[in-house]
Chain A
Amino acid sequence: MRYMGMITTVAAALLVSATGAFAASAEKGKIAFGKNGCWQCHGWEGQGGSTGPRLARTQLPVEALTAFVRNTNGPMPPYSEKLISDADLADIYAFVSAQPAPPDPKTIPLLAR
């Protein structure tokens, strides 16, 4: 059943991006990232930590991220469409993708040993 659900979700996400039914907004994504609790494990900037991987500037395609959020069987609890809409997920994707590139560690003296 999980597998079927994943196919449906991926298909839906592809449809959304192909038709451009809505334009993703990083600004709205920031709000959705907070109100849906994504920050709890991934940090307010999506920087990741001991409880969740980094999302900032993710290299995953939006479809893969959406499929994972809907159907994760890893440590992350799944979010159904009832909890986060596809539109909100697209906005969240826009938000984490728009995060600034982290500085080169060589430019941070505190990180030199």
Chain B
Amino acid sequence: MTDLNGKDGFDRRKFLTGAAVAGVTPAIAQVSTPAQAQGAAPHHTPSALPPTMKTIAAETHPPEELSRIGGKPGSDFMLDVIKTLDIKYAPSNCASSFRALHESMINYGDNTAPEYISCMHEESGVGIAHGYFKVTGKPLITMVHGTVGLQHATMAIYNAYCDRVPLIIIGGNDLDAAARPPGVPTFHAAQDINAIVRDYTKWDDTPVSLQHYAQSMVRAYKIAMTPPYGPVAISLDAGLQQEPIHEHGAKLYIPRYVPSSPPQGDSNAVKEAARLLVAADSPVIVADRCARTANGVKLLVELAELLQCSVVDQGNRMNFPNTHYLSRPAGAVIAGADVIIGLELSDFWGTVNAYTDNGEHGVGVNNARIKPQTKLISINSVDLLTKSNYQDFQRFQTVDISMAADAETTLPSLIEAVKSAITADRASVIAARTDKAKKAHAEIRARDVQAATVGWDSSPISTARLCMEIYAQIKDLDWSLVSSAGDVSNWPARLWPIEKHHQWLGRSGGYGVGYGAPASVGAAMANRDLGRFSVSIQSDGDLMFAPGVLWTAAKHKIPLLSVMHNNRAWHQEVMHVQRLANFRNRPSNYGGDLGPVGTMIQNPDIEYHKLAESMGWWAKGPIKDPAQLGPALKEAVAVVKSGQPALLNVWTQPR
């Protein structure tokens, strides 16, 4: 034996060359044999085309010596910049256009901060970053091929934009047409790759120098992380990544990131809002993406208790503990309110109006849910972020006080203003609300419990039973419900005690189906690092958009309990098509399935447990008998506690 340096005098390169030449000779002889025999022997089709000389040489000769890069590669500096931003992971699907940054990340950067997370699909990479942020409050980067990779990623970016989630997308692109390598990079580069996501990102740039890149990267991070949060995109030229650093006399530097303070409500508007709230007899707080942090929940509780007013949590974040006696579903309080304050609502119009999709001639009917004299107050940072093309707002709702400001940041001053506005008279009126509020909360809870019993033992398993069987197994853990993409009649919010900010992470934002699976994996990765237990209620249709994310979870040892709400349909669309058939007074064509053609996922039924098993998960199913669900969950929880992902394929009722 010898070492690779040939210390025993043995020349490895000459040895390999000699071996290759020896191997080539018989190969050439073999290739010539059939030609010589043509006409003499019966004709037969060869099983494969004979290799060309070029192929033979490529497969058997040692590669030629490459010229080595002189100095530090540009992509090493790019990574230096990323490292100053304390970004822990880079969930990505590999691509040639960012190969230099990829190589720098795993070798020069030792594959830590960021650590490369292998993804099967760019949509998964973005979805993982989406879920991760909602646990940690910290953005990730995801690298994509600037053309086809970014095209794959777009829906997930739109979800993040609508859900006010920051992340940094780096798209590799061979910008210089005169220097592009032949093949894919030349065919499939673009002038402006970010154009396809510009309508649903906060900002993007195409740096043309390393110093430009350093400034743009820090600027991108700062813009993404200033409320209202949102995704940003950087197009990264492949040449700039690969070439060595040419400083041209000016030393490269990395700008220091200093967070911007979020926008706060104008003091006069805050004072007027407080005056209205204190004077109201039935004030209601409605919160959607109000609590960006755990402190946001504390502040909202403080405000609600000061006013003894109902709080409706619309659920795009965990804003308010559902065990608090002031927590209410919208239907219980909106109609009777005389003042409503909306905190980071994505849809104020829908909060105070009803739309019934059942009018004459198939046109919906609008009805106000509130009294004409009800005063409306809005604090919403999204007023500062509006795009013309891809829209993220509902119908225009006139309000009496409108603050273009971050709600969580404004809450402390609003709380102080409310304290100042409460007179002795108002204090006694406010205090008198408490007993009634506690009674109403208890009654709603009792009604929900009663409703959960209907169909308790049915098969397919009721969504109430599904949720309560899950809760029974996780209630003593520090759990986090990372996603519930399928509608399970809102049972977790109705029956699980959700009191901590991380116990519910909200929904997709843009209703882009396919969010649940990758966002759950990203959130579970974050929870793993924090020692928490992650559970997702995973719908069937959502999983099948990019199921390869299951492999990512197994590959990177991300513990996640995924319990499937397998109703064997894209159920929302089942009802939509049925509705239209009824409007048009014609029977709906079920085509041998249980619902309208094109909306069902059955015949054949997908064996999700086998799919998960094939990608390294512990899995079991299909579970149709409710009595089998508890024991299976117990096993799955033990697996997840050991550090692995586990999936249960449960056949469920539609909603």
Residues of A within 8 A of B454 (CB): 45, 47-48, 54, 56, 102
Given contacts A45-B458, A77-B582, A102-B456, contact A39 B654 (CB under 8 A): yes
Q: Which chain A residue lies CB-closest to B446?
A: A105
Those of A53-99 within 8 Å (CB) of chain B: 54, 56, 72-80, 82-83
Does B653 count as interface, using CB distance less than 8 angstroms? yes
What 1/0 flags go to A100-113 for Cβ under 8 Å of B? Answer: 00111100101101
Residues of B within 8 A of A56 (CB): 454-455
Q: How far is the CB of B605 from chain A (nearest CB, A)?
A: 16
A47 CB contact (under 8 Å) in B365, B445, B455? B455
User: Which of B451, B455, B490, B588 has the most chain A CB atoms inside 10 A of its CB?
Assistant: B455
What 1/0 flags go to B581-599 for Cβ under 8 Å of A? Answer: 0110111101000111000
Q: Which chain A residue lies CB-closest to B588?
A: A37
B582 CB contact (under 8 Å) in A35, A44, A78? A78
Q: Which chain A residue lies CB-closest to B582?
A: A77
Does A20 count as interface, using CB distance less than 8 angstroms? no
Does A34 count as interface, using CB distance less than 8 angstroms? yes
Given contacts A74-B356, A111-B468, contact A44 B458 (CB under 8 A): yes
Q: How far is the CB of A104 from chain B (nearest CB, A)?
A: 8
Contact B655 A73 (CB under 8 A): no
Residues of B within 8 A of A82 (CB): 585-587
Does B397 count as interface, using CB distance less than 8 angstroms? no
B595 CB contact (under 8 Å) in A40, A73, A102? A40
Contact B358 A72 (CB under 8 A): yes
User: Which of B452, B454, B463, B489 has the most chain A CB atoms inside 10 A of its CB?
Assistant: B454
Contact A111 B358 (CB under 8 A): no
Given contacts A39-B654, A43-B462, A113-B497, contact A74 B358 (CB under 8 A): yes
Residues of B within 8 A of A19 (CB): none
Q: How far is the CB of B337 from chain A (nearest CB, A)?
A: 22
Residues of B within 8 A of A37 (CB): 574, 578, 588, 595-596
Q: How far is the CB of A98 from chain B (nearest CB, A)?
A: 14
Given contacts A110-B469, A111-B453, contact A75 B356 (CB under 8 A): yes
In the bound assembly, the distance between CA atoms of A34 and B468 in angstroms comes to: 26
Does B208 count as interface, using CB distance less than 8 angstroms? no
Contact A45 B455 (CB under 8 A): yes
Does B571 count as interface, using CB distance less than 8 angstroms? yes
Does A41 count as interface, using CB distance less than 8 angstroms? yes
Q: Which chain B residue lies CB-closest to A100?
A: B457
Given contacts A50-B487, A111-B468, contact A41 B575 (CB under 8 A): yes
Contact A105 B450 (CB under 8 A): yes
Given contacts A37-B588, A47-B653, contact A102 B453 (CB under 8 A): yes
Q: How far is the CB of A106 from chain B (nearest CB, A)?
A: 9
Does B352 count as interface, using CB distance less than 8 angstroms? no
B472 CB contact (under 8 Å) in A41, A75, A110? A110
Contact B655 A103 (CB under 8 A): no
Q: How far is the CB of B601 from chain A (nearest CB, A)?
A: 14
Interface of A is mostly: loop
Contact A76 B358 (CB under 8 A): yes
A83 CB contact (under 8 Å) in B457, B585, B594, B653? B585
Does A17 count as interface, using CB distance less than 8 angstroms? no
Contact B356 A43 (CB under 8 A): no
Those of B460-518 within 8 Å (CB) of chain A: 460, 462-463, 465, 468-469, 471-472, 487, 489-490, 495, 497
Does B222 count as interface, using CB distance less than 8 angstroms? no
Does B357 count as interface, using CB distance less than 8 angstroms? yes
Residues of B within 8 A of A41 (CB): 575, 654-655
Does A8 count as interface, using CB distance less than 8 angstroms? no
Contact A73 B356 (CB under 8 A): yes
Contact A47 B356 (CB under 8 A): no
Residues of A within 8 A of B469 (CB): 110
Q: How far is the CB of A111 from chain B (nearest CB, A)?
A: 5
Residues of B within 8 A of A45 (CB): 454-455, 458, 462, 653
Residues of B within 8 A of A73 (CB): 356, 358-359, 365
Given contacts A34-B594, A47-B458, A51-B575, contact A83 B358 (CB under 8 A): no
Residues of B within 8 A of A102 (CB): 450, 453-456
Residues of A within 8 A of B460 (CB): 44
Contact A49 B654 (CB under 8 A): yes
Given contacts A41-B575, A105-B453, contact A49 B653 (CB under 8 A): yes
User: Which of A56, A78, A102 has the most chain B CB atoms inside 10 A of its CB?
Assistant: A102
Q: How far is the CB of A83 from chain B (nearest CB, A)?
A: 6
Q: Which chain B residue lies CB-closest to A54?
A: B454
Residues of B within 8 A of A51 (CB): 487, 489, 575, 654-655
Q: Which chain A residue lies CB-closest to B470?
A: A110
Q: Which chain B residue lies CB-closest to A39?
A: B654
Query: Which residues of A are interface residues toward B (Cβ below 8 A)?
Result: 34-35, 37, 39-41, 43-45, 47-51, 54, 56, 72-80, 82-83, 102-105, 108, 110-111, 113
20 contacts between A and B (CB under 8 A): A34-B594, A37-B574, A37-B595, A40-B574, A40-B654, A41-B575, A43-B654, A44-B460, A44-B654, A47-B653, A51-B487, A82-B585, A82-B586, A83-B582, A102-B454, A110-B468, A110-B471, A111-B452, A111-B468, A113-B497
Sort A-B residue pairs by CB-CB distance and give the 10 closest, nearest first.
A47-B455, A77-B582, A102-B453, A49-B489, A49-B655, A47-B454, A50-B489, A45-B455, A110-B468, A77-B579
- Given pairs A43-B654, A45-B462, A49-B653, 7 additional interface contacts (CB within 8 A): A34-B594, A39-B594, A43-B462, A54-B451, A56-B455, A72-B358, A75-B358
